[in-house]
Amino acid sequence: MPDGIYFTAEHELLRDQIRRFIAEEVLPFADAWENDGMVPRATLRKMGAIGLFGVRYPEAYGGSDMDTRATVVLAEELGRSTYSGFAITALVHTDMASIHIFNAGSDKQRKRYMPGIISGDLITAVAVTEPDAGSDVKSIRTTARFEENNFVLNGAKMFITNGVHADLYCVAAKTLSQEEGSNNVTMFLIEKGAPGFTVSRALDKHGWRCSDTAELVFEDCVVPADSVLGEVGQGFYAIMRNFQNERIVLGAMAMGEAQAALDLTLDYVRTRKAFGAPLWEKQAIRQRLAMLSAKVEAGRQLVYATSVRDAAGEEVVKEVSMVKAYCGELVNEVMYDCLQFHGGMGYMRECPIERMTRDARIQAIGGGATEVMLEEVAKRI
């Protein structure tokens, strides 16, 4: 929902552009993408062609050089599409993976890759999570040993969004065996097809069905020393830095999803009759929807206000953690009741709210589980 307190006319033009793209290029086709388990590359290139992959990147690379608020607009509107698998495919590329290349990449890496990233010709993934290490980044086991001006990677990554079809992977590995904890992680930029790097399998998910998700395996994967993103041993800090952006993105996406669910449900209960009157006439139903609307507005305002502070360069770790915890839980609360008010129809695969409810479940897990986020808040209150 547009808000003139936080957004400029430029942001609202971006919002209108995204809505037109979704209406014309997503909604007519996305059911097929759900069955196929992927968003077509042609669609992603169209997003790039109209500038949606470069809203935060400099004009020198083909971007629009906007701020955090543009990220929020993009994420919120993609969430409103009702196809969250499509939304996360795009948002991982724009704000969770390629941002590592822009923030930590060398001039040579940026010049080589950023134009293709922004155009949609190169799609990115970020590979940090492992079977035994999710939110606990320090516990990753993938290693990278230095040999003859190369690094040799061994290990596996799990639950990697865009993992099947990406072209470029930002991969976290431990590089300094004598160090422990925060100074023992390095990020690498690895192209698909690198010797020893394989996409082990595509994963079959509960939701986000049109988002391709993979397990990756590195078996003596040799990459040149200039594949390091940033400095050796500084990858943990790069990951933590980007978590703030990622969590704002996920919060905005969740509020877009929640608003779309409320809109669909309000339309449904105003027309669906039971016991001789529309469901809207039942006090319990309309009051519950009124309370959910109030909560979603509160969540949206928290996202917006946090994005303004982040754009101004303020320290917002506490607020971002609140965003991720509150919005991730709230979208699931909204979906539960919206499906309930759809009755039996809400349980059918043909009903959008059924898909949206499945898609929303991950919002309380991915990008920082609610419990982890609440601990971050607790440290700062």
- Is the same domain home to 223 and 305? no
**Which residue shows structure tokens 């388990």?**
37
Last residue of a domain, one of 168, 202, 233: 233
Task: Give residue 177's pLDDT.
Answer: 65
Contact 186, 144 (CB under 8 A): yes
Query: Is 90 a member of any domain?
Result: yes
- The angle at the Cα of 220, spanning 217 to 223, to the nearest 5 degrees, equals 95
Last residue of a domain, one of 217, 233, 249: 233
Query: Is 255 a member of any domain?
Result: yes
153 forms beta bridges with: 144, 221
Contact 25, 33 (CB under 8 A): no
Query: Is 3 a member of any domain?
Result: no
- The parent domain of residue 28 ranges over 9-123
Query: Is 1 a member of any domain?
Result: no
Rounded to whole angstroms, how far apart are CA atoms 300 and 254?
A: 9
Q: What is the pLDDT of residues 52-98, one digit of tens each?
A: 999 999 999 999 999 999 999 999 999 999 999 999 999 999 999 99
- Is the same domain home to 196 and 305? no
- Is the same domain home to 112 and 83? yes
If one counts the domains in the chain, the total is 3
- Is the same domain home to 262 and 137? no
- Is the same domain home to 366 and 240? yes
- Is the same domain home to 242 and 370? yes
Last residue of a domain, one of 123, 153, 187: 123
Query: Is 268 a member of any domain?
Result: yes
Which candidate in 76, 77, 246, 257 is catalytic?
246
- From first to last of its 381 residues, what are the pLDDT tens digits of the chain? 455 789 999 999 999 999 999 999 999 999 999 999 999 999 999 999 999 999 999 999 999 999 999 999 999 999 999 999 999 999 999 999 999 999 999 999 999 999 999 999 999 999 999 988 767 788 899 999 999 889 999 999 999 999 999 999 999 999 976 556 677 899 999 999 999 999 999 999 999 999 999 999 999 999 999 999 999 999 999 999 899 999 999 999 999 999 999 999 999 999 999 899 999 999 999 999 999 999 999 999 999 999 999 999 999 999 999 999 999 999 999 999 999 999 999 999 999 999 999 999 999 999 999 999 999 999 999
- Is the same domain home to 129 and 206? yes
- Is the same domain home to 217 and 284? no
Radius of gyration of the chain (CA): 21
Q: What is the pLDDT of residues 346-371, one digit of tens each?
A: 999 999 999 999 999 999 999 999 99
What is the CATH classification number for the domain harbouring 289? 1.20.140.10
Rounded to whole angstroms, how far apart are CA atoms 3 and 184?
A: 43
- Ranges of beta strands (E only) in the chain are 124-127, 143-147, 150-161, 168-174, 185-191, 197-202, 213-224, 228-229, 273-274, 277-278
Mark whether 246 is an active-site residue: yes
Task: Give residue 213's pLDDT.
Answer: 97
Rounded to whole angstroms, how far apart are CA atoms 28 and 7?
A: 29
- Is the same domain home to 204 and 338? no
Task: Give residue 178's pLDDT.
Answer: 55
- Tokens for 344? 């039996």
Query: Is 154 a member of any domain?
Result: yes
Q: Alpha helix locations (H) across 22-106? A: 30-36, 41-49, 68-80, 84-91, 98-104
Q: What is the biggest distance separating any 2 CA atoms in the chain, rounded to whole angstroms?
A: 79
Task: Give residue 319's pLDDT.
Answer: 98
Rounded to whole angstroms, how far apart are CA atoms 229 and 217?
A: 20
Query: Is 361 a member of any domain?
Result: yes
Residue-by-residue DSSP string for 195-238: TTEEEEEE---SS-TTS-EEEEEEEEEEEEGGGEESSTT-HHHH
**Which residue shows structure tokens 């009051």?**
287
- Is the same domain home to 102 and 133? no
Task: Give residue 92's pLDDT.
Answer: 98
